[in-house]
Amino acid sequence: MALAHGFQGDRPYISTCKGNRFYIDNPVFDIEESAHALGNICRYGGHSRRFYCVAEHSMLVATIMEQLGLGDPFEGLMHDNHEGYLIDLPKPWKAAISDYSPVELKLEAACRVAYGLTPVITAGCKTADLIALAIEARHLLPNKGDDFTWPDGIIAQANRFRDWHMPCWAPELARDHFLACYAELRNGRGQSRNV
User: Per-residue pLDDT tens for 138-173?
Assistant: 999 999 999 999 999 999 999 999 999 999 999 999
Ordered by where they begin, the domains of the chain are 31-188 (1.10.3210.10)
pLDDT at 12: 87
> What is the reported pLDDT for 195?
45
Maximal CA-CA distance, the chain: 53
Residue 6 has pLDDT above 70, yes or no: no
DSSP, res 26: S
- Quick: pLDDT tens for 134-146: 999 999 999 999 9
Task: Tell me the average pLDDT of the chain.
Answer: 91
Banded model confidence at residue 97, pLDDT cuts 50, 70, 90: confident
User: Of 178, 135, 181, which is closest to residue 40 (Cα–Cα)?
Assistant: 178
CA 117 to each of CA 6, 56, 190: distance values in angstroms, whole numbers, following the listed order: 30, 20, 13
CA distance 100 to 69: 32
Scanning the chain, the segments in alpha helix (DSSP H) are 31-40, 54-68, 73-78, 91-96, 100-114, 123-140, 154-159, 171-188
Lowest mean pLDDT among 9-13, 98-102, 104-108, 166-170: 9-13
Contact 99, 105 (CB under 8 A): no
For the beta carbon of residue 119, count every other beta carbon within 10 angstroms: 9
Alpha-carbon torsion (115, 118, 124, 129), positive or negative:
positive
pLDDT in tens, 12-55: 899 999 999 999 999 999 999 999 999 999 999 999 999 999 99
- Give pLDDT, residue 193: 39
